Structure 1
Amino acid sequence: MWFDSWSDLGRIATVGPLAYVALVAVLRISGARTLSKLNAFDLVVTVALGSTLATVLLSADVSLAEGVLGLALLVLLQYVVSRASRRWSVIERVVKSDPVLLYRRGFLDGPMRRARVTRSEVLQAARGSGRGSLDEVEAVVLETDGTLSVLSTAPDLPSRDS
Structure 2
Amino acid sequence: MTKGFALNWKNMLFQDWEGIVRTLMVGVLAYATLIVFLRISGKRTLAKLNAFDLVVTVALGSTLSAILLQESIALAEGVAALGLLIAMQFLVAFTSVRWTAFAKAVRSEPTLLIRSGRFCDKAMRRERITRDEAMSAVRDSGGRDVSEVEALILESDGSLSVVFATRG
Counterpart amino acid of 2:53?
Answer: D
Is the contact made by 1:39 and 1:95 (CA closer than 8 Å) also made in structure 2? Answer: no
1:38 Cα deviation after fit: 4.9
2:33 partner SS = helix
Alignment of 1:100 with 2:117, yes or no, is no
1:86 Cα deviation after fit: 2.1
1:123 alignment counterpart: 135
Alignment of 1:72 with 2:77, yes or no, is no
Distance in 1 (CA, whole Å) between partners of 2:119 and 2:43 is 35
Of the candidates 142, 145, 160, which is equivalent to residue 148 of structure 1? Answer: 160
1:42 Cα deviation after fit: 1.4
1:35 alignment counterpart: 46
Distance in 1 (CA, whole Å) between partners of 2:109 and 2:155 is 7
Distance in 2 (CA, whole Å) between partners of 1:26 and 1:132 is 45
Between structure 1 and structure 2, the one with the greater Rg is 2
Alignment of 1:10 with 2:21, yes or no, is yes
Is the contact made by 1:53 and 1:67 (CA closer than 8 Å) also made in structure 2? Answer: yes
Q: CA RMSD in A?
A: 1.7
1:22 Cα deviation after fit: 0.3
Counterpart amino acid of 1:127?
Answer: R
Instruction: Give the percent of matched residue pairs that are identical in Structure 1 and Structure 2.
Output: 52
Counterpart amino acid of 2:142?
Answer: G
1:114 alignment counterpart: 126
1:45 alignment counterpart: 56
**Aligned residue pair count:** 155
More helix by share: 2
Distance in 1 (CA, whole Å) between partners of 2:28 and 2:139 is 42
1:53 Cα deviation after fit: 1.0
1:159 alignment counterpart: none
Distance in 2 (CA, whole Å) between partners of 1:60 and 1:131 is 55
Question: What's the CA shift string for 1:100-132, capped at 9, x where partnerless?
Answer: 000121111011111111112112212222333
1:103 partner SS = strand
Per the normalisation by structure 2, the TM-score is: 0.84
Is the contact made by 2:118 and 2:147 (CA closer than 8 Å) also made in structure 1? Answer: no
Per the normalisation by structure 1, the TM-score is: 0.87
Is the contact made by 2:153 and 2:161 (CA closer than 8 Å) also made in structure 1? Answer: yes
Counterpart amino acid of 1:132?
Answer: R
Alignment gaps of 5+ in structure 1: 156-162
1:59 alignment counterpart: 70
2:104 partner SS = helix
Counterpart amino acid of 1:39?
Answer: N
1:4 Cα deviation after fit: 2.4
